[in-house]
């Protein structure tokens, strides 16, 4: 068994979101995977179980929990597979559903991967839930951009979208990990997706992930896909659209996620990025 290390949504090993990748996890138990992910220490490690042809079962473990789907580890695993076996189409069976992935080499020679999420959906949240979250983050209600109302969003895992009115508010992040973990576990949120809208097609994001034992994720493909579904569901941008999510800059690990949002309701959201070996 070999544990590869790739950083996703970046062209530099010091940027993006690092992920562990095990391309052949055959014979590993759940306990084995959990222990390996904890030892690797990244926000997620993807364990690929070869099946028939270009179809694979994939499981994702953070240092703290198993998650049903992880975008950046999917991009990392797909690029790692392409580096070993060549580019093409893959079908990944995850606990969230079947994810299609296409790898290619762009004009500059970079290997890219594009995943298509499961159908996204959104759900309302209560005033009490938002009040509790704001208190834990140290944010005031007056600091929110209510043109992007808080919603629970899903594209393989649940994320709470909370929009800051200013970039400076987004830049300041401090919270109590155990307390936020308990709140998120109570409501089934895998991350909190804090965003600021620079323009109709450029968003900045930060993703607290205490439920997985990580203070913050520097690039979160699953949350970006869920954000795409939210923007479509709420008709907040002209469709179809290509949106760029910039994440990790406040952590010193800049990343860029391309989000393709089809106009048709219920269709999966496309997430594209590069990945490089660490």
Tell me the pLDDT tens digit for each residue of 31-82.
999 999 999 999 999 999 976 666 899 999 999 899 999 999 999 999 999 9
Q: Which of 150, 96, 159, 155 is nearest to 128 (CA)?
A: 150
Instruction: Out of 90, 116, 142, pick the residue that ends a domain.
Output: 116
Is there a contact between 145 and 196 (Cβ–Cβ < 8 Å)?
A: yes
177-229 tens-digit pLDDT: 999 999 999 999 999 999 999 999 999 999 999 999 999 999 999 999 999 99
Residues 142 and 48 in one domain: no
Q: How far is it, in rounded angstroms, from Cα 182 to Cα 206?
A: 19
Position 248 confidence tier, pLDDT thresholds 50, 70, 90: very high
What predicted TM-score, i.e. pTM, was given to this entire model?
A: 0.95
In this predicted structure, what is the pLDDT of residue 62?
A: 94
Provide the number of structural domains found in the chain.
2
* Structural domain span for residue 136: 121-271
Query: What CATH number does residue 262 fall under?
Result: 3.10.310.10
């Amino acid at each position: 068994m070999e544990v590869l290390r790739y950083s996703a949504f970046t062209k530099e090993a010091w940027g993006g979101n690092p992920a562990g990748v095990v391309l052949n996890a055959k014979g590993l138990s759940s306990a084995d995977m959990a222990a390996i992910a904890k030892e690797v220490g990244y926000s997620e490690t993807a364990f690929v179980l070869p099946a028939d042809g270009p179809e694979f079962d994939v499981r994702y473990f953070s240092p703290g929990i198993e998650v049903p789907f992880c975008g950046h580890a999917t991009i990392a695993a797909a690029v790692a597979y392409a580096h070993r076996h060549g580019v093409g189409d893959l079908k990944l069976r995850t606990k969230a559903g079947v994810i299609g992935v296409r790898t290619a080499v762009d004009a500059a020679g970079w290997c890219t991967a594009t995943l298509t999420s499961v159908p996204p959906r959104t759900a309302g949240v209560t005033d009490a839930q938002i009040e509790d979250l704001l208190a834990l983050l140290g944010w005031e209600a007056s600091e929110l951009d209510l043109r992007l109302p808080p919603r629970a969003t899903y594209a393989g895992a649940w994320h709470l979208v909370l929009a800051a009115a200013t970039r400076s508010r987004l830049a300041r992040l401090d919270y109590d990990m155990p307390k936020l973990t308990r709140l998120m576990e109570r409501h089934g949120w895998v991350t909190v997706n804090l965003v600021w809208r620079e323009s109709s097609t450029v968003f900045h994001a930060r993703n607290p992930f205490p439920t997985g034992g990580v203070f913050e994720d520097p690039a979160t493909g699953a949350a970006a896909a869920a954000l795409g579904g939210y923007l479509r569901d709420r008709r907040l941008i002209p469709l179809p659209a290509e949106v760029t999510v910039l994440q990790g800059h406040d952590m010193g690990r800049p990343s860029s996620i391309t989000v393709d949002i089809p106009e048709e309701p219920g269709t999966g959201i496309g997430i594209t990025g590069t990945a490089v070996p660490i």
